[in-house]
């Protein structure tokens, strides 16, 4: 709340619920990057590709310029922070729009996948509600205190 965001940005589909709740709490508009371009979207869009951790392939992230404007202060919200690849894609969309990234929030962070380190160069606050420090093949999960 203290970063002065003017809009929340996420990726469909898993990021929508936490982004909506965050935006509702902060009384901000929310926009989500589509993974395919609907026919109703204008021809000119912001588009990037990012590796999908869950799909195991590259996915497109697309936002219409009418929903992401120059000068906006963007808070990125997503469900997981693993490698940070999806969030990096959302950062590229933010930069393409001429907007400013002011923070990143996730429900769960998997520390052992290095996402926070990969995003460190952005110099913005990164917050996670739950931080997983280790997972093993027997189903044991360790959380940070």
The neighbour count for residue 88, using CB atoms within 10 Å, is 18
Confidence of residue 42 (pLDDT cuts 50, 70, 90): confident
Q: 3-class DSSP state for residue 109?
A: strand
Q: 3-class DSSP state for residue 124?
A: coil
* CATH numbers and ranges of domains, the chain: 7-143 (3.40.50.2020)
Q: What is the pTM of this model?
A: 0.94
Rounded to a whole number, what is the distance in angstroms from the first to the last CA of the chain?
23
C-beta of residue 65 within 8 angstroms of C-beta of residue 100:
no
Query: pLDDT value at position 36?
Result: 82
Query: pLDDT value at position 9?
Result: 98
Query: pLDDT value at position 56?
Result: 82
Percentage of the chain modeled with pLDDT above 70: 99
Tens-digit pLDDT profile for residues 76-104: 999 999 999 999 999 999 999 999 999 99
């Amino acid at each position: 709340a203290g970063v002065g965001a003017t809009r929340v940005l996420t990726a469909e589909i898993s990021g929508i619920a936490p982004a909506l709740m965050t935006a509702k709490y902060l009384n901000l508009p929310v926009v989500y990057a589509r993974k395919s371009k609907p026919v109703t979207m204008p021809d000119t869009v912001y588009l990037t590709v990012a590796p999908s951790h869950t799909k195991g392939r590259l996915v497109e992230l697309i936002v219409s310029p009418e929903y992401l404007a120059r000068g906006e202060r963007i808070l990125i919200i997503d469900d997981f922070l693993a490698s940070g690849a999806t969030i990096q894609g959302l950062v590229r969309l933010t930069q393409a729009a001429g907007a400013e990234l002011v923070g990143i929030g996730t429900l769960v962070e998997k520390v052992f996948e290095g996402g926070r380190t990969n995003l460190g160069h952005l110099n913005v606050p990164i917050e996670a509600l739950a931080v997983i420090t280790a997972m093993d093949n027997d189903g044991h999960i360790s959380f940070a205190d």
